[in-house]
Amino acid sequence: MGKLKFGLFIGNSGPLASPELIRDMADQADRNGYDGVWTNEHVMPAHTIDYEWPNKGHYIPHYGVQSTLAYLAARTKRVRLGCSVQVLPYHQTFELAKAIATLDQLSDGRAIVGAAPGWNRQEMEYLGFRDFAERGKFADEALEVMIALWTQATPSYEGRWHRFGPTDWEPKPRQKPHPPIWIGGESVPAIRRAARFGSGLILSHMPVDWLETHLPKLRAEMAARGRADEPLEVGFYYNVKLLRDGRRIDRPLDSRKSSAGYWLEGPAETFVEDLRRWEAAGITYPVVRIYGQSHDDVLAQLRIFDEEIKPHVA
């Protein structure tokens, strides 16, 4: 097997989110060989929830994605800068394309585009997109528009939601032809979207048998589009808990689901074995998300992960 790359979720949302935690986690990622630092995006979570989700507090407070990544672009030297994911119907497409191109220029080519149609109807409607059933089609069109803006000398486009051009649009991103696009989601349309646009697939947390079933489908879709030989990163959020009340956890407990809010806990060797299993199933890029009780607890667990787990698999 090859060696895994690692991303690190830098805690821009959730009860522990703070400028200090974002800063300290990004600094450690930049020093300790992480490929990238990652944010998530929930701009307007509803106060009263009308959807099934285990923990609304997972998103509150929320530090904005583009401002956070721009800050980290100036602070860090090496790590790439991503969001899992930016929900395309939440955004005015031209402004998002401009923000990503600017980030890529200011960071010397370190931006990663995480993109998906989204799942949260309430939040989407709050932000002005009310055609929920059409969000996938909108996402596809938005990706087409952004790629046109990033790659065409004088971009133009005629679609259902976007009509413009020719226009002068600069600066283009530093990465050519454009920053890598990682598609979020686990549905059949997400697989097709990744085959069409993606250089990466980013998952929340799917079981091994899902990977064994769906990754061959993704590769087949890529081959049908003439992309059989192109590399593809397969990332997922890897939820980690190594300490409880400041003490090392000595027995494994796996409470993971296909949603945020659950984790694997145990001693270091539990995670080494687990990561090797995920790598064998096709994962190439775990995004580590530490579950802790305080700023210092998160950093202490991160140090254990970096010293006792990551060297064995990265």
* Per-residue pLDDT of the chain in tens (314 residues, 90 and over written 9): 568 999 999 999 989 999 999 999 999 999 999 999 999 998 887 666 655 444 555 678 999 999 999 999 999 999 999 999 999 999 999 999 999 999 999 999 999 999 999 988 888 999 999 999 999 999 999 999 999 999 999 999 999 999 998 999 999 999 999 999 999 998 899 999 999 999 999 998 788 888 999 999 999 999 999 999 999 999 999 999 999 999 999 999 988 765 445 688 999 999 999 999 999 999 999 999 999 999 999 999 999 999 999 999 98
**Is 270 part of a structural domain of the chain?**
yes
Q: Decide: 110 and 73 in contact? Cβ < 8 Å.
A: yes
**Is 245 part of a structural domain of the chain?**
yes
Q: Decide: 255 and 263 in contact? Cβ < 8 Å.
A: yes
Q: Which range marks the domain in which residue 218 is found?
A: 7-313
Alpha-carbon distance of 132 to 138, in angstroms, equals 10
**Is 2 part of a structural domain of the chain?**
no
**185-192 CB contacts, 8 Å cutoff, 24+ apart:** 185/116, 185/117, 186/210, 186/214, 186/258, 189/117, 189/136, 190/116, 191/217, 191/218, 191/221, 192/221
Residue type present at position 305:
F
Nearest in space to 100 (alpha carbons), one of 178, 185, 3, 184:
178
Q: What is the per-residue pLDDT for 54?
A: 47
Would you put residue 9 in left (φ > 0), alpha (ψ -120 to 50) or beta?
Answer: beta
Q: What is the DSSP letter of 84?
A: T
**Is 112 part of a structural domain of the chain?**
yes
Question: Would you say the C-alpha torsion 214, 140, 135, 15 has a positive or negative sign?
Answer: positive
Q: Which pLDDT tens digit goes with each residue over 262-314?
A: 688 999 999 999 999 999 999 999 999 999 999 999 999 999 999 999 999 98
Count of the separate structural domains present in the chain: 1
Global pTM value? 0.93
Degrees to nearest 5, angle at CA 137 with 237 and 214: 40
**Is 39 part of a structural domain of the chain?**
yes
Q: What is the per-residue pLDDT for 45?
A: 76
Q: What is the per-residue pLDDT for 118?
A: 93
Domain holding 222: CATH number?
Answer: 3.20.20.30
Q: What is the per-residue pLDDT for 242?
A: 97
Q: What is the per-residue pLDDT for 58?
A: 66
Helix (H), strand (E) at residue 57: none
Q: What is the per-residue pLDDT for 42?
A: 87
Q: Decide: 7 and 30 in contact? Cβ < 8 Å.
A: no
Query: Before 252, cis peptide (omega within 30)?
Result: no
- Helix pair angle (188-197, 135-151), 10° resolution: 10
Judged by DSSP in three states, 187 sits in coil
**Is 1 part of a structural domain of the chain?**
no
Q: Decide: 116 and 139 in contact? Cβ < 8 Å.
A: yes
Q: What is the per-residue pLDDT for 259?
A: 46
Q: What is the per-residue pLDDT for 254?
A: 87
How does DSSP assign 249-261, residue by residue?
--S-EE---SSTT
**Is 82 part of a structural domain of the chain?**
yes
**Is 217 part of a structural domain of the chain?**
yes
* Helices and strands (H and E) in the chain: how many: 10, 15
